């Protein structure tokens, strides 16, 4: 009986997390347009529903009914599976992401995550890197020079910034003595790691902007250069899968910033429930991503690569040395 209850709880959590992750990009698209409107002194979506609240629904209906074009002489198999390859890794990441303390589901006490991995942080960094295969497949299979060039420089960008991102979390691992995300959060209960790791957080956040392909690092989709980059030839629902994956990557980076550097679900001063604190912190970082998009100009590609290899990598190594001295 206990085994059946445990399996039922796991299935409930899988369905719940999957549904939430599919729904989250819908309000984020509306929120991003509204933030853009306020920053640019305009209203944003207003016509479809009250204050444009139904605009994401209208966009979804448009993508569902839009003709699905596949270029001639393209690799049809790779072209069709590329959006799914890009979409699956962001979902797999949340297998190891904790969202708070123990909760009760169906009268069964459980933790609000799917798997309590001892190497959860390593798993997340490894699985998140698999998204690059969707980019490669999409650009190569499209039989388009614009999509191919877009996929090549997107791959170079993602690989380059994964290096400093991986180095940036080593300081957190050294301080917490664990790669389990729950242990990392628990280690921050007296004091958040942002106090000890300001340089590590800076490196991780900047690399996260590049990994999420957001301005000022959105060279993957520089419209003036490459149309829309690696997904230039995609339309309809296949295009929407690429967009959903990008929003989920932004959500993933925001969640990791909170878990690794800002105390996870631990709050300060105001006694709010742990899930509320966690949601507020994640929402703040999502707002930062959107704010940066409509504030900063796009870097040139040579500048982007120079920042990754000549600035962030040396700084991340310096952060490891400083942390080692501090821990010693």
pLDDT in tens, the chain (328 residues): 566 776 777 788 888 888 888 899 889 999 999 999 999 888 888 898 888 899 989 988 888 888 888 888 888 888 889 989 988 988 899 888 888 776 665 555 666 777 778 888 899 999 988 888 888 888 888 888 888 888 888 888 888 899 999 999 999 999 998 898 888 998 988 889 999 999 999 999 999 998 888 888 887 766 555 566 788 888 888 888 888 888 999 999 999 999 999 988 888 888 888 888 889 999 999 999 999 988 888 888 888 889 989 999 999 999 999 999 988 7
Show the 3-state SS of the chain.
CHHHHHHHHHHHHHHHHHHHHHHCHHHHHHHHHHHHHHHCCCCCCCCCCHHHCCHHHHHHHHHHHCCCCCCCCCCHHHHHHHHHHHHHHHHHHCCCCCCCCCEEECCEEECCCCCCCCCHHHHHHHHHCCHHHHHHHHHHHCCCHHHHHHHHHHHHHHHHHHHHHHHHCHHHHHHHCCCCHHHHHHHCCCCCCCCCCHHHHHHHHHHHHHHCCCCCCCHHHCHHHHCCHHHCCCCHHHHHHHHHHHHHHHHHHHHHHHHHHCCCCCCCCCCCCHHHHHHHHHHHHHHHHHHHHCCCCCCCHHHHHHHHHHHHHHHHHHHHHHHHHHHC
**Angle at 205 (CA atoms; ends 180, 95), nearest 5 degrees:** 35
What does the pLDDT read at residue 102?
66
Residue 104, token pair as written in the block: 């009760």
Q: What does the alpha-carbon distance between residue 53 and residue 46 come to, in Å, rounded to a whole number?
A: 8
What does the pLDDT read at residue 171?
92
Closest listed residue to residue 126, CA positions, set 157, 99, 161, 166:
166
What does the pLDDT read at residue 225?
59
Tokens 């072209």 appear where? 79
Q: What does the alpha-carbon distance between residue 185 and residue 188 come to, in Å, rounded to a whole number?
A: 5
Q: What does the alpha-carbon distance between residue 328 and residue 325 come to, in Å, rounded to a whole number?
A: 5
Give the largest CA-CA distance in the chain. Answer: 62
Residues 263/250, Cβ–Cβ less than 8 Å: no
What separation in angstroms does the CA of 203 have from each of 90, 230, 313?
A: 21, 26, 9
Q: What does the alpha-carbon distance between residue 131 and residue 150 come to, in Å, rounded to a whole number?
A: 15
Query: How far from the centroid of its chain's Cα atoms is residue 134's Cα?
Result: 15
What does the pLDDT read at residue 253?
93
């Amino acid at each position: 009986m206990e085994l059946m209850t445990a399996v039922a709880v796991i299935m409930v959590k899988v369905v719940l997390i999957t549904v939430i992750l599919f729904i989250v990009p819908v309000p984020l698209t509306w929120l991003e347009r509204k933030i853009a409107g306020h920053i640019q002194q305009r209203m944003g979506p207003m016509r479809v529903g009250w204050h444009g609240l139904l605009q994401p629904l209208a966009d979804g209906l448009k993508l569902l009914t839009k003709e699905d074009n596949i270029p001639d002489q393209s690799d049809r198999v790779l072209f069709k599976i590329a959006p799914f390859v890009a979409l699956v890794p962001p979902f797999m990441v949340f297998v190891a992401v904790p969202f708070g303390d123990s909760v009760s589901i169906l009268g069964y006490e459980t933790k609000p995550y799917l798997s309590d991995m001892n190497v959860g942080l390593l798993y997340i960094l490894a699985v998140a890197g698999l998204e690059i295969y969707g980019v490669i497949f999409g650009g190569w299979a499209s039989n388009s020079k614009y999509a191919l060039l877009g996929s090549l420089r997107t791959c170079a960008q993602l690989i380059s910034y994964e290096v400093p991102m991986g180095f940036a979390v080593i300081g957190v691992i050294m301080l917490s003595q664990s790669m389990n995300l729950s242990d990392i959060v628990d280690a921050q209960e007296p004091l958040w790691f942002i106090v000890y790791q300001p340089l590590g957080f800076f490196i991780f956040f900047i690399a996260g902007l590049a990994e999420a392909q957001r301005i000022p690092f959105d060279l993957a989709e520089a419209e003036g250069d490459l149309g829309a980059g690696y997904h230039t030839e995609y339309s309809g629902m296949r295009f929407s899968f690429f967009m959903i994956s990008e929003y989920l990557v932004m959500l993933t980076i925001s969640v990791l910033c909170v878990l690794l550097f800002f105390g996870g679900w631990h709050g300060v001063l105001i006694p709010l429930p742990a899930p509320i604190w966690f949601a507020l912190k994640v929402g703040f970082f999502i707002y930062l991503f959107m704010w940066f998009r409509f504030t900063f100009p796009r870097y040139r590609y040579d500048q982007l690569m120079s920042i990754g290899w000549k600035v962030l990598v040396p700084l991340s190594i310096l952060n490891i040395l400083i942390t080692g001295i501090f821990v010693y």
